[in-house]
Amino acid sequence: MLTLLLAKIGAICDMKGKSPSEQNGIEALRDTDVSVLSVGISTAGEAEMAMASMNPERHITATTLDADGAETIANVVASSEYVSQIEIRIQDVVDCMQHYAPDSFDFVYARLVLHYLSEQDLMTALIGIHTILKEKGRLFIVVRSDKSPEAQQSDNEVDPITKLTTYISMVGTKDTRYFHTPGTITSALRSAGFDITHIDQYDEDLSPSFARDDDIWVPNNVIEVLVSKK
């Protein structure tokens, strides 16, 4: 089972153009970014292993709320050459200040995870990330936008307080997201004390599968932002 998963991850790593936002986040890392927090393991550990491969001195703390996913990836990492560089933890990003001291990380990678949070929890998480980043530390985030086809369905339910949208996904599941605009996400980031370094918005097909191994890709529109701590 583990050998098969490793083979699938290897095959996924060779796929071109499927996840430009993931590649952009990995390429944003500098050689000096040796302490990295990866919030939400959405690609079966692929991104974290790619980060580790770029710098043998880099340590990645990868967090998730998915206990089964954490166990799977811990097994994958344990069988890889990056076992000493990647640590898997079950943690909630909203409570990150309870788990890490201020100025702990050079870089935080949060691809396709912060859009699960309500407007209120998002601010708590961003303030926490700002605190645990080192001086001039950077945060790379990707959230789904309100231009995504699933965000524009007529029967969606939007909570005016939390800003969360409940909808039926294109694969038939009932899901909840905060579909952002460039204005909502940058406003939250600035309020948390970040300077906007880069922002982009583009179409990207996303896989609903944890390991991206079922060849299902759902059309989406994402907002990518790179910010630095003031």
pLDDT at 117 over 60: yes
pTM of the model: 0.89
Rg (CA), the chain: 17
Class at the top of the CATH hierarchy for domain 2-13+21-229: alpha beta
pLDDT at 55 over 50: yes
- Spatial separation of the C-alpha atoms in residues 226 and 46, rounded to whole Å: 20
Of residues 46 and 109, more confidence is placed in 109
Beta bridge partners of 168: 174
For residue 157, give the nearest of 176, 131, 136 by alpha carbon: 176
**CA angle in degrees (0–180, nearest 5) for 73-201-129:** 50
Q: Residue 212: its pLDDT value, please?
A: 61
Residue 21 pLDDT grade (very low, low, confident, very high; cuts 50, 70, 90): very high
Per-residue pLDDT averaged across 40-54, rounded? 87
Of residues 9 and 166, more confidence is placed in 166
pLDDT at 73 over 50: yes
pLDDT at 222 over 70: yes
- Token pair for 26: 């990995």
pLDDT at 16 over 60: no
Residue 210 pLDDT grade (very low, low, confident, very high; cuts 50, 70, 90): low
Question: How is residue 95 annotated by DSSP?
Answer: G
Per-residue pLDDT averaged across 73-102, rounded? 93
pLDDT at 65 over 70: yes
- Spatial separation of the C-alpha atoms in residues 46 and 14, rounded to whole Å: 11
pLDDT at 7 over 60: no
Domain boundaries of the chain, sorted by first residue: 2-13+21-229
